[in-house]
């Protein structure tokens, strides 16, 4: 995994508080895929690049208790925030590890899940590692929450602001073809991806809190300074918000599902 862990470490509290969850339909598709594997509805499922545990906790709530859920996160602050935000009764374990070097034996896992993190990985190395640790019939799932700037003048303007003020930033940084990449991996049977569009109402300050959890905005802060960056973002959001200072943020959520076939 790249140095993203340390970059996100200092942003852990805002990240956990303001980042979006995932639609129920997406988690339902993931649950059905996991439960249809040849492991009798039980086993160990890992959330690789777990961050503050947003998807890890959703996974735990979605799955039968016979599944054990483990979050892998290299960043100390992110991992600590994940632990603090997780009720002890949920029985989730968070451990320090990268997606490219998982501390499990061959064929040990029923599922490997990645939520909003695969762009930070060495993806060919991660796919090889996932193939190694999955048992035959196990699930590899990649979840993404993408702000849909193509369908939102507000998000288009926000992305333009980032591109103008963040060196080397390109809004298409997650535009690689995950489905095609998975189909090229030997030993995986790949399902058609699932796409779900939805809207998230947010207050102006809530949107600012979410953006402050982003390493992309922190690059702008280094250029413009904290106060100016927040002022410009606040003015931009308010120019599109309704009279109650609420902005509707459009998302396209995606899940890519594959099953380990041969050993």
218: Cα within 13 Å, side-chain hemisphere: 13
Read off φ and ψ for residue 69, nearest 5 degrees.
-115, 130
Instruction: Please state whether 69 falls in left (phi above 0), alpha (psi between -120 and 50) or beta.
Output: beta
In this structure, are residues 109 and 132 in contact, taking their beta carbons and an 8 Å threshold? Answer: no
Helix (H) or strand (E) holding 61: helix 54-62
Q: Pairing between strand 43-48 and 67-72?
A: parallel
H-helix segments, 188-241: 204-212, 215-224, 226-240
Strand, helix or coil for residue 18: helix
pLDDT at 16: 65
pLDDT at 254 over 90: yes
For the chain, which residues make up each domain, given as ranges? 4-146+172-198+252-260
Report pLDDT digits (tens) over 10-57.
566 666 677 788 999 999 999 999 989 877 667 999 999 999 999 999
Record the tokens describing residue 154, joined without a space: 């507000």
Report pLDDT digits (tens) over 169-187.
899 988 899 999 999 999 9
Confidence of residue 218 (pLDDT cuts 50, 70, 90): confident
In this structure, are residues 196 and 25 in contact, taking their beta carbons and an 8 Å threshold? Answer: yes
**Integer Cα distance of 212 and 77 in angstroms:** 16
**Integer Cα distance of 229 and 189 in angstroms:** 45
Report pLDDT digits (tens) over 159-172.
999 999 988 889 99
Record the tokens describing residue 176, joined without a space: 């690689």
Highest mean pLDDT among 41-50, 96-105, 206-215: 96-105
Report pLDDT digits (tens) over 101-158.
999 999 999 999 999 999 999 999 999 999 999 999 999 999 999 999 999 999 999 9
pLDDT at 4: 53
Question: Cβ contacts of residue 13 below 8 Å, gap of 6+?
Answer: 81
Record the tokens describing residue 165, joined without a space: 């003020």
pLDDT at 1 over 60: no
pLDDT at 2 over 90: no
* Count of helix runs (H) and strand runs (E) in the chain: 11, 8
* CATH node for 4-146+172-198+252-260: 3.40.50.150
């Amino acid at each position: 995994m790249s140095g993203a862990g340390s970059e996100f470490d200092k942003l852990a509290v805002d990240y956990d508080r303001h980042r979006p969850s995932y639609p129920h339909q997406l988690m339902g598709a993931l649950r059905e895929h996991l439960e249809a594997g040849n492991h009798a509805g039980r086993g160990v499922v890992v959330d690789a690049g777990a961050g503050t545990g947003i998807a890890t906790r959703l996974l735990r709530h979605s799955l039968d208790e016979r599944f054990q859920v483990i979050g892998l996160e290299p960043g100390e602050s992110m991992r600590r925030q994940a632990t603090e935000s997780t009720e002890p009764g949920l029985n989730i374990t968070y451990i320090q590890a990268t997606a490219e070097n998982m501390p499990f034996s061959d064929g040990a896992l029923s599922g490997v899940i990645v939520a909003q993190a695969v762009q930070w990985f060495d993806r060919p190395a991660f796919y090889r590692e996932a193939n190694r640790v999955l048992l035959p019939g196990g699930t590899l799932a990649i979840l993404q929450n993408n702000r849909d700037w193509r369908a939102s003048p507000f998000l288009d303007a926000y992305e333009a602001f980032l591109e103008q003020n963040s060196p080397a930033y390109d809004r298409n940084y997650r535009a690689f073809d995950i489905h095609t990449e998975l189909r090229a991996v030997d030993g995986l049977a790949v399902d058609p991806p699932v796409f779900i569009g939805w809207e998230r109402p947010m207050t102006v300050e809530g949107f600012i809190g979410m953006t402050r959890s982003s390493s992309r905005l922190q690059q702008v802060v280094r250029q413009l300074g904290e106060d100016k960056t927040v002022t410009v973002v606040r003015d931009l959001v308010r120019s599109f918000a309704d009279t109650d200072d609420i902005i509707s943020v459009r998302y396209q959520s995606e899940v890519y599902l594959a099953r380990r076939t041969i050993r």
